[in-house]
Structure 1
Amino acid sequence: MELQPIIPFEPVRTEHIPAGPEWIAQLKWDGVRMLSYCSEGQVRLVNRRLNDRTLQYPELLQPAEYCTASSFILDGELVAFDGVKPSFHEIMKRDSLRKQQSIKQAVSTIPVVYMVFDVLMADDRWVTELPLSQRQALLQDMIKPEQRLVQVVQSFPDGNALFKAVSEQGLEGVVLKRTDSAYLINGKDKRWQKRKISRDLYAVIGGVTFRDKVVNSLLLGLYTPEGQLMYIGHAGTGQLTVNDWRSLTERVKPLAIGTIPFNAKPPLLRDTTWIRPQLVVKVAFLEWTPGGTMRHPSIESIVEHITPAECTTEQLK
């Protein structure tokens, strides 16, 4: 039986952590959302935007090594680490690979862990209508505990205590879920909520600046509901390496245009080149300024799994 990929259940943002016996809290991993589909011993990996990533993670293609179910659909995040902390930049290195030899090398140089937090199907039986508490019990029975590659995400009864702990460790945030919630395919509601430590979003590049003929800063924007590209600030610091900046320089060259892609002219920076908005980055920032731009933005990674059309102001809700 061929399993058709689905768009996963999404949490909504919150600034107030719900409490009570009907709520659990889980660590929000700074990784890539990925669903794993297994049928007749064959595994397929598909991200939240329905892009196939099976070739990028060959270590997950032997399901009997980590799961007792003969068929399944698992929901979780693929995570890579920079030292002891999850790193979005590191997992993007894996996710963007396309050449077989590079992927083979990366299995050992950039190891990943599949942090699984839900199950939609087990042994040919859909379980999305079961309450989360029952799905979690099933997940614990399915995943073999003696291996490290696939781990079940731990749940905690006190969301505020978990949020305090992850804040102190500089992690991404927490996800709060009702234990009685069914799994809503292609849905988003308050039965699942997320609270982040820092602000971040996906933004499209509308312009760049140069230093010594190498890109050194990005002018970023989000699309409004009317389809206009709104300038939200520029960023030139973060986790991009010297080689990343050089590679980005080559990618923007054919995208140069003579008109400003933003709906209003941003403050001019030295050596600004406007480009067609086709490249996406994940950017973290402290807060919004009164002028509607990001304060202290930091580029986390160049992103391949999000399209420019998805870089909208809807992320701010």
Structure 2
Amino acid sequence: MTKPPPPIAPMEARLVDALPRGPEWIYEPKWDGFRCIAYRDGDAVTLISKSGKPLGRYFPEMVAMLESLPERQFVLDGELTIATGDTLSFAALQARLHPAESRIRKLAAETPAQLILFDLLALGGRDLAELPFAERRERLAAFFQDVQPDRLLLSPITTDAAQADQWLDRAGTALDGVVAKRLDLPYQPGVRAMAKLKQHRTADCVVGGFRYGGNATTAVGSLLLGLFDDAGLLNHVGYTSSFDAAEKKRLLTQLEPLIGPPGFTGDAPGGPSRWSTDRSVEWQSLRHELVVEVRYDQVTGCRFRHGTTFLRWRPDKAPGQCGMDQLARELKPAELEELIGA
């Protein structure tokens, strides 16, 4: 077949404030895993990440599974996920990016990945990218029905906006939101041709410390956020730095009088790395007096994966009321099965 040379840039989605509505739109869950375009051309299987880097070395069980399929020429677009215990774990995906092949082989055997499919770009020698999405989806469903492999799942779709709203309301970090595609949409590599509405949640956090900005001590760089666990320990869960320059200077007058113990009594902010400067790893411990409400999108383990957005101070809330139970729970495999089955 005429295979696009790796790496092909995946088609992307622009962030919207509300899902588009109308008969020309179709919706599917936005999964929280590793975006992956999978190629097979005869005996050669290649997995490419969203950034264009090869993934096959880190997911040998997925390469072997795709090699076992009866169809020998295809290009699939999907999301790699891993179930650990009773949840889908982004941390388990990150653990695969390891330099030691023996470690990767061990993890592949213990926690094999699965690929959730949502597009078909080529099949049996024919490039399908110019076809409308509705037709590509029909061919993808037929392909999936024919092969029925282990660890290959078909992402659900719906034309019912109410169903899309229900997906959006589901708690869990493995379900990151909803993607909307036009039924007549051709595949456009690297173009934000789809629409996505992401899950954004809020949490009330204790300000357990702060970092100064850059190499200066005249402004705050970021607030370090903490939540209490069941043992009553304050664990570092992330940071917020969404203040303008004037506010970062003003914050010093509010924070510096609070410098001192107890800070983080459980997990503390990380130490130096090879990318850190002396100043960037320093942080000031604060007494547990300030509570902030922040908006976050995704959680890995018990931490915000990205920086959060400051919403407001919460003088009405006691620090001891800020617990880990606020964080969105991870999606359970049974719930994934329910979604896929739908």
TM-score strictly above 0.5: yes
SS at 1:17's partner residue?
A: coil
- Aligned position for 1:175: 179
Unaligned 5+ segments in structure 2 are: 203-213, 215-220, 225-234, 245-265, 287-303, 314-321, 330-342
Question: How many equivalent pairs are there?
Answer: 253
Distance 1:81 1:255, change over 3 A: same
Equivalent-residue separation in structure 1 for 2:177 and 2:61 (angstroms): 27
- Aligned position for 1:252: 273
Distance 1:146 1:99, change over 3 A: same
- Aligned position for 1:100: 101
TM-superposition CA deviations, 1:211-257 (whole Å, max 9, x none): xxxx95755669x9xxxxxxxxxxxxxxxxx9xx79x9465267233
- Aligned position for 1:305: none
Distance 1:121 1:21, change over 3 A: same
SS at 1:255's partner residue?
A: coil
Alpha-carbon distance, 1:197 to partner: 2.1
- Aligned position for 2:306: 283
Equivalent-residue separation in structure 2 for 1:98 and 1:113 (angstroms): 21
Cα root mean square deviation, aligned: 4.1
Alpha-carbon distance, 1:127 to partner: 1.2
Alpha-carbon distance, 1:17 to partner: 1.7
Equivalent-residue separation in structure 2 for 1:116 and 1:250 (angstroms): 39
Distance 1:259 1:43, change over 3 A: closer
Q: Percent identity?
A: 22
Mapped contact 1:30–1:86 kept (Cα < 8 A):
no
Mapped contact 1:75–1:117 kept (Cα < 8 A):
yes
Distance 1:50 1:256, change over 3 A: same
Alpha-carbon distance, 1:80 to partner: 1.4
Mapped contact 2:27–2:178 kept (Cα < 8 A):
yes
Equivalent-residue separation in structure 1 for 2:118 and 2:160 (angstroms): 17
Alpha-carbon distance, 1:175 to partner: 1.1
Distance 1:219 1:23, change over 3 A: closer
Unaligned 5+ segments in structure 1 are: 210-214, 225-241, 262-266, 271-280, 301-317
Mapped contact 2:70–2:147 kept (Cα < 8 A):
no
Equivalent-residue separation in structure 2 for 1:268 and 1:17 (angstroms): 42
Distance 1:15 1:151, change over 3 A: same
Alpha-carbon distance, 1:160 to partner: 2.9
Mapped contact 2:49–2:55 kept (Cα < 8 A):
yes
- 1:198 maps to a residue whose letter is H
Alpha-carbon distance, 1:119 to partner: 1.5
- 1:124 maps to a residue whose letter is G
- Aligned position for 1:278: none
Mapped contact 1:26–1:155 kept (Cα < 8 A):
yes
SS at 2:278's partner residue?
A: coil
Is it true that 1:113 corresponds to 2:134 in the alignment? no
Please point out which of 30, 33, 36 is paired with 1:34: 36
Mapped contact 2:82–2:88 kept (Cα < 8 A):
yes
TM score, norm. by length of structure 2: 0.61
Distance 1:98 1:172, change over 3 A: same
- Aligned position for 1:65: 68
SS at 1:107's partner residue?
A: helix
- Aligned position for 1:12: 14
SS at 2:40's partner residue?
A: strand
Mapped contact 2:223–2:241 kept (Cα < 8 A):
no
Distance 1:40 1:159, change over 3 A: same
Alpha-carbon distance, 1:178 to partner: 1.0
TM score, norm. by length of structure 1: 0.65
